[in-house]
Structure 1
Amino acid sequence: MSRASWLGHPLTVLALVVLVVNDHLLKYTWPGLVTGKLSDVAGLILLPAVLDLALRRPAVSIAVTGAGFALVKATATGAWLASEAWTLVWGPSVVLADPTDLLTLPALYVAWWASRHPVPTGRTVVVLLTPAAVLAITATSPAQPYVPPMAFATEVRDGAIIVELKSDERFVSRAYLTRDGVTWEEWTSAVRSSPTPSSCAGDRCLRVVPGRLKVEESTGGGAWTTAWELSPEVQDRLVRAYPPDEPEDLQPVESLSVSAIPGLVVVANGADGVAVRDASGTWRRIGIKDYQLDPAATVPTDAPGRYDTALPQNALFIGVVVGLFALATGIRTLGFIVGVAVGWVAAWFWLAPRAEFHDIVSGGYAPPLYPDVKVLALALILPVAAFALMMFFAVLARPPLWILPVGLATAGLTWLVIMAPFAAWSVGWVPAYAQATVLAVVLSTVVGASAAWVTGRYSTPRPHSLGQRPGP
């Protein structure tokens, strides 16, 4: 029985699954003590089996794992070394020393037991499990993603107005005080930390309109009228002017809080900063930069809308998938369809959003002169294999010659009809980002379905040459 069968032990495979699910789902859904320690337990079970592929000594593999884990978790030097190693491979990463993590060391007994009770495992299973296990172990402990700061709350204090800035619970908020809306002093005392949806100065009262960049005003108890607002179309573009690292961390861009004193009104507008009305009645917006209110950071209302920087790459990925699908509907052989499937995997490998493998190969995270050889080889093998499979079975199927240019045209047209609505939204021709998304989905679906219908309906195989017997 091969020593590599330790990697295929059910307990080792379970640890791999737990590590992936916990690090990439549970930690974000239920952050806390349990999910934090669960990764350590799973890693202590999985890592020795991976190390043993090279060391070939289970006891040594377990000892190295335990010693390394203790060094990283119990000493600042070990944590620093781990952080530098992870940063070299995956980009900015932080590994924190936490002596309480040493309580998970008994998980090494599970690894030892699995090594003593290996199960029969084929070479193919080991080949498939090894890269998955390595990636699961090395892809943990990422740096905290960037969350844009926002103007969250306002309050009146001692004849002045205080604005509180924050991003999320991982960062300490900052507060600034102003008496004229021009000069801002950092406020280090306690703040209310809750939005004020309405405020009055004398007989004038103001209130924010939920969900909008808008403030209404009432004088002497009269009707509410609009004091300041930005149109929904401008607001829709400003929402995406402050992109976080993770989509779920997108900060609101809307009027959250308002405070007023005689001659001054300040509105907290989320990630867009604040809106200020001075004694002359003039409104102006002030943006946020480096946790400070900075007029130079204000995004102009006529600036083009900013869509996701990954959109062109994602659109190309979808275009390749749709183009290959159109070819598959015309060349309906099992071998060609397998080639198309491999082509889809290759496209995902290079073009899918946040493709860590592609980042390593292209030098996005790792030094460009030292790419991972296995990753580079796989990155090259996938498209070559897809091309070879599709060409071989296409020659056997003998489809009409116009099939290939139709597939290429379908991929390019799909990319174009996805990008066009977002470009139109960016310059204001399409009112809302959601409408651009709907247009992109509808148009790309029409292009893909039409191309698949044409290739499926009219792709009659070409006749064989004279004197050549037709296939069965």
Structure 2
Amino acid sequence: MRTGVFLRWAAHPLTAGGTALLLLNDHVFKPAWPGLVTGKLSDVAGLVVAPPLLGLLLGLFLAARVAAVAAVLVTGAGFAVVKLGAAGAVSAVWSVVNGPSVVLADPTDLVALPALGLSWWAWRRAAAAPPVPDGLAARWRVVVVLPFAALAITATSAPVDTTQAVESVRGDGSQVVIEAAGRLYGSASGVDGWKFLSAAPASSGASRQPQVQACAPEAAAHCYRVHGDGVSDSGDRRGGRLFGVDETTDGGRTWRTAWEVPAARWEFVQRQHPFPAGVLRLSKLASTEVLVRAVPGGHEVFVANGVEGLAVRGAAGDWRRVPVVDAGTGLDIRPVPFTGFGRVIGDAVSTAGLLALLALLIGTTVAATRVRTRLGRGLTAAAPIALFLFLAVPISGAVAFFGENAAMSTTLWSVTTSCLVAIGTALVVTQPRLRRPRTPAIVAAAVLTGLAFVAPALGWTVGYPQEHAPTVVLGVIIAAACLPVVVAAGWWTGARDPDVLVEPPWPPVPRP
């Protein structure tokens, strides 16, 4: 068997040991003892395990020794590229294959590259060994080691969320103190002028219970409580009403909403806060802690709003969202707007592009069918756009994988969609079987269909409608209404021009 030597390489005791070390280190040692040693162990073990697996693939096409050398060199080059800056794209792809994962860019990890020498030594031993015998034990060693080696390579550690967010808010004498990004910051006003105080104690998050309810110093019956009390990342149980504060003036007998981010705009706000590997962190998208302090003329309320910064109630009773910024440490947490024309509708734009390509196919097919009816040929004019539509789906999927950390970026998907529709347009306009001066009618109808679908989503970005769900239904209805236009454009494109003499479908029979 051509790949037999690579199976021996993958089942070599050194490779098997590297596999076991990689699995244990990523999922047992790292969580228990995070640090420099466990961080580098994964790199060393991965560089031992990866070349045999890559060699199995390359060995199908190359000579054994060439494939082994290529496997080692490609593994080393890929490792260096990732650690020097391409980790984000790799994390996105791995998260699609394996669920939420993270690959970190760290040039210091290049110290693990000599581990490739260990992998090459295992190859030399495997190449010099006799072929794998037919014994049951040898076969089981290969069967067991290979799946675990593949699992160890793909099952990376869970992503570490470094998204900046206001985790807590508390009073400290004359200043308001917040915890954000693992540090404590203070401000006399609680609105601006934030200054770094110290690193947050490692045990503060576990030992300190968040203050989800607080009362006014001058009136014990006047209290506030946050909407995000007890929220977890397992699900949104309040229908998007996570940013908000309730208020009571009768000691808790009745509560009313004092301030909140409208539930109808929750999804628009949430889409503007992308998280690593696309993993939604509801605990950072909620009001989690409240502080009430006395000031001349009444009291002020400060609410920790995670990635949205702070919500503040002034002494006069007015509420506002405020950013938390400290240029000295790079802290920059800002609330996002409730409306913004064309923002974060990448999903609608990508769907509109696929609908436009589908409309191109329908219009081209109608035109080609009419040509075939008249001339006995022409239906093949629709084949190129049909093939391209088939390929556009995985192309869009690849863009989604690599652009996952961009959330639903309108810009990313606008560029992608424009390129796809432009290629589809070229395939239609250059068809020799169709009347080229008329093919722009099909293109115009197809583009109209795509724009019709995305129009309600554009309205949603400016608040009409407030909810997102109706935009999808409305977009489908309007796009479907454009179908007769697409069919009419195709019919007209395939029609015979009365001023042009068209050859019959077969040569006339000469008369004797």
Q: Give the TM-score normalised by the residue count of structure 2.
A: 0.55
- Are residues 1:213 and 2:243 paired? yes
Is the 8 Å Cα contact of residues 168 and 178 (structure 2) preserved in structure 1?
A: yes
Task: Return the offset for 1:347.
Answer: 4.3
Secondary structure in 1 matching 2:179: strand
- Are residues 1:264 and 2:296 paired? no
Task: Return the offset for 1:267.
Answer: 0.7
Secondary structure in 2 matching 1:429: coil
Task: Return the offset for 1:421.
Answer: 1.4
Task: Return the offset for 1:467.
Answer: 6.8
Separation of aligned partners in 2, 1:306 and 1:345: 28
Separation of aligned partners in 1, 2:247 and 2:89: 55
Counterpart position of 2:260: 229
Taking the TM superposition and a 5 Å limit, the aligned residue runs for 1:141-160 are 148-155=163-170
Separation of aligned partners in 2, 1:205 and 1:101: 62
Structure 1 residues 314 and 245, CA gap change in structure 2 (3 angstroms): farther
- Are residues 1:198 and 2:235 paired? no
User: Partner amino acid for 1:174?
Assistant: R
Separation of aligned partners in 1, 2:445 and 2:125: 53
Separation of aligned partners in 2, 1:312 and 1:90: 25
Is the 8 Å Cα contact of residues 238 and 253 (structure 1) preserved in structure 2?
A: no
Greater displacement, 261-270 / 193-202: 193-202
User: Partner amino acid for 1:59?
Assistant: R
User: Partner amino acid for 1:272?
Assistant: E
Secondary structure in 2 matching 1:192: helix
Separation of aligned partners in 2, 1:145 and 1:277: 33
Is the 8 Å Cα contact of residues 421 and 436 (structure 1) preserved in structure 2?
A: yes
In the alignment of these two chains, the number of paired residues is 385
Identity rate, percent:
22
Separation of aligned partners in 2, 1:355 and 1:462: 43
User: Partner amino acid for 1:344?
Assistant: L
Question: Which of 255, 272, 290 is equivalent to 2:287?
Answer: 255
Structure possessing the higher radius of gyration over alpha carbons = 2
Taking the TM superposition and a 5 Å limit, the aligned residue runs for 1:290-309 are 297-299=334-336, 304=341, 306-308=343-345
Is the 8 Å Cα contact of residues 360 and 446 (structure 2) preserved in structure 1?
A: yes
Is the 8 Å Cα contact of residues 271 and 288 (structure 1) preserved in structure 2?
A: no
Structure 1 residues 199 and 189, CA gap change in structure 2 (3 angstroms): same
Task: Return the offset for 1:275.
Answer: 0.9
1:217-247 per-residue CA deviation (whole Å, 9 max, x = no partner) reads 2235153233333433454543333344654
1:425-472 per-residue CA deviation (whole Å, 9 max, x = no partner) reads 22222212333233223333443x54676689999886996773449x
Taking the TM superposition and a 5 Å limit, the aligned residue runs for 1:38-437 are 43-48=50-55, 57-63=63-69, 65-66=71-72, 83-84=83-84, 86=86, 94=105, 96=109, 105=119, 148-155=163-170, 161-166=176-181, 173-178=182-187, 180-182=189-191, 183-185=193-195, 186-190=197-201, 191-192=204-205, 195-202=210-217, 203=220, 204-210=222-228, 211-221=241-251, 222-244=253-275, 246-249=277-280, 253-262=285-294, 263-288=299-324, 297-299=334-336, 304=341, 306-308=343-345, 312=349, 315-328=352-365, 331=368, 335-336=380-381, 338-345=383-390, 347=392, 354=399, 387=427, 391=431, 395=433, 404-437=439-472
Is the 8 Å Cα contact of residues 352 and 453 (structure 2) preserved in structure 1?
A: yes
Separation of aligned partners in 2, 1:326 and 1:145: 49
Give structure 1 stretches of 5+ with no counterpart.
Answer: 15-30, 73-77, 118-138, 167-172, 359-378
Q: Give the TM-score normalised by the residue count of structure 1.
A: 0.59
User: Partner amino acid for 1:207?
Assistant: R
1:48-90 per-residue CA deviation (whole Å, 9 max, x = no partner) reads 3666799x54224424544775x78xxxxx9656634858998
User: Partner amino acid for 2:54?
Assistant: L
User: Partner amino acid for 2:477?
Assistant: V
